């Protein structure tokens, strides 16, 4: 099972979720897990990979050309005697 941390959640939102969870008779964690599982199973949800998402947001021509450094350590190769 995976773990997830949610940062910067407004106190008011957490309190409302806690109250709703208590009304359902479950813990806040169980309630949040249920909400997330239901949201992840929405029919017709569009699943994109990161490359497709970047292309959608920035276009195929978006981005920068980077000059790649030469590979290697820059040191001379060690020659072992035969």
Express each pLDDT in 25-52 by its tens digit.
Answer: 999 999 999 999 888 876 655 666 777 7
Length of the chain: 82
The mean predicted confidence, pLDDT, of the chain is 84
80: in domain: no
32: in domain: yes
Q: What pLDDT, on a 0 to 100 scale, did the predictor assign at position 29?
A: 94
Question: What is the DSSP-derived secondary structure letter of residue 31?
Answer: H
Identify the band that residue 62 occupies on the pLDDT scale cut at 50, 70 and 90: low
33: in domain: yes
76: in domain: no
67: in domain: no
6: in domain: no
27: in domain: yes
Q: How far apart are CA 52 and CA 59, in angstroms?
A: 10
Structural domain that includes position 53: 11-58
Going from the C-alpha of 35 to that of each of 8, 42, 56, the distances in angstroms are: 18, 11, 27
Q: What is the domain count for the chain? A: 1
């Amino acid at each position: 099972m995976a773990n997830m941390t949610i940062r910067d959640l407004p106190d008011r939102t957490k309190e409302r979720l806690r109250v709703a969870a208590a009304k359902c008779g479950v813990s806040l964690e169980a309630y949040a897990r249920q909400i997330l599982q239901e949201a992840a199973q929405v029919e017709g949800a569009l699943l994109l990979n990161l490359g497709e998402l970047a292309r959608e947001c920035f276009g195929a021509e978006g981005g920068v050309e980077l000059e790649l450094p030469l590979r290697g350590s820059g040191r001379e190769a060690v020659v072992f005697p035969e």
